[in-house]
Amino acid sequence: MSFIEIKNLSHAYNEDDHREETIHDLSLSIERGEFVALLGHNGSGKSTLAKLITGILDIQSGQIIADGTDVSKISGEEELFALRRKIGMVFQNPDDQLVATVVEEDIAFGPENLGVEPQEIRRRVRNSLRAVGMLKYARHAPHKLSGGQKQRIAIAGVLAMMPECIIFDEATAMLDPKGRADVMSLISRIHKAGITVVHITHNMNEALAADRVVVINEGRIFLEGTPSYVFSHVDELHSVGLEAPPLTELLHALAAAGYSVPAFSSGVSDTVDVVESLFGK
């Protein structure tokens, strides 16, 4: 069984009006340990899907099984906490996620709520801070840190819950290039440590790091597959308001101009080779 199994899921914010469904009969499986990038233009339903998986929104129609638990049958706070401990979420704005005035207290907050022993909490706080490269900021005030550092603290807070899966909902969108790169390399390390990653992003280069890319449009799966498969479909991506990564867009423009080139750029050096073979050095 997959780690997350979504079957025939539909959701409407206005439950009485099914013409306004945000998610339409969507089915998707996510394997344990997989790194999935979820793409789609603004309003396509990505955050809604993430909130349904983590029990922030109630399931109206269809089914989500997360690690064997039927999310729609969850009743009571305890089962809901168990789900959220298993599947953590990191949001766009780190300021919305930081609760305490000292970094280490912020990270201790989640495990404290779970009733974890104080000694174990201290261990988790240190391990999580070390994992995100912020150990020396343990006693700093979160509001004085950069956006990227704050987001790494928010991620440490989720790691301290020892989740099996983390959903990043545009967690890099508000960051400067350095903060973005730091958080992306952290996401890759989290994936390599065996945690299932769902990365919702607008940045196509970030999606290249994933095992699988899932494009959603108007609440339906539009395209899914490996990054090379999905990003080879440039015209289809354009039709739903998305672009391929810049180097693949370049190849696509060359193909449109009549040149015989690959449909997907696997990296800078390969693309430079292609361009040099056409135009010389």
Ligand X SMILES: Nc1ncnc2c1ncn2[C@@H]1O[C@H](COP(=O)(O)OP(=O)(O)O)[C@@H](O)[C@H]1O
Residue 66 · residue 83 · CB < 8 Å? yes
Nearest approach in angstroms of CB 251 to ligand X is: 27
Nearest approach in angstroms of CB 8 to Mg ion is: 22
Nearest approach in angstroms of CB 91 to ligand X is: 11
Nearer to ligand X, 45 or 163 (CB): 45
Helix or strand run (H / E) with residue 30: strand 21-30
Nearest approach in angstroms of CB 23 to ligand X is: 8
Query: Beta-carbon neighbour count of residue 40 at 10 Å?
Result: 24
Nearer to ligand X, 17 or 117 (CB): 17
Angle in degrees, 0-180, between the axes of helices 147-159 and 177-192, rounded to the nearest 10: 20
Nearest approach in angstroms of CB 47 to Mg ion is: 3
Burial class (CB in 10 A: 0-12, 13-18, 19+), 151: buried
Amino acid letter, 168: F
Nearest approach in angstroms of CB 205 to ligand X is: 19
**Residue 201 found at the interface with Mg ion (CB under 5 A):** no
Nearer to ligand X, 43 or 246 (CB): 43
Stretch of residues binding Mg ion (CB under 5 A), selected from 47-55, 58-66, 129-137, 171-179: 47-55
Amino acid letter, 186: L
Residue 48 contact partner, candidates Mg ion, ligand X, none, CB within 5 to 8 A by sort of partner: ligand X
Query: Beta-carbon neighbour count of residue 111 at 10 Å?
Result: 23
Residue 44 contact partner, candidates ligand X, Mg ion, none, CB within 5 to 8 A by sort of partner: ligand X
Footprint of Mg ion on 131-170 (CB under 5 A): none
Nearer to ligand X, 168 or 264 (CB): 168
Nearer to ligand X, 42 or 260 (CB): 42
Residue 215 · residue 240 · CB < 8 Å? yes
- Take residue 265 and report the two structure tokens written for it: 């750029």
Q: Find the angle CA(27)-CA(82)-CA(104) to the nearest 5 degrees.
A: 115
Q: What is the DSSP letter of 166?
A: E
Residue in the block written with tokens 């999905």: 230
**Residue 47 found at the interface with Mg ion (CB under 5 A):** yes
Residue ranges binding ligand X (CB under 6 A)? 13, 22, 40, 42-48
Residue 42 contact partner, candidates ligand X, Mg ion, none, CB within 5 to 8 A by sort of partner: ligand X
Nearest approach in angstroms of CB 49 to ligand X is: 7
Nearer to ligand X, 24 or 84 (CB): 24
- Take residue 200 and report the two structure tokens written for it: 């919702």
Cα dist from 133 to 136, 138, 151, whole Å:
8, 11, 12
Query: Beta-carbon neighbour count of residue 257 at 10 Å?
Result: 9
Amino acid letter, 38: L
Burial class (CB in 10 A: 0-12, 13-18, 19+), 9: buried
Nearer to Mg ion, 78 or 96 (CB): 96
**Residue 172 found at the interface with Mg ion (CB under 5 A):** no
Closest CA relative to residue 30, chosen from 191, 161, 138, 151 = 191
Which residues would be at the binding site for Mg ion (CB under 5 A)? 46-47
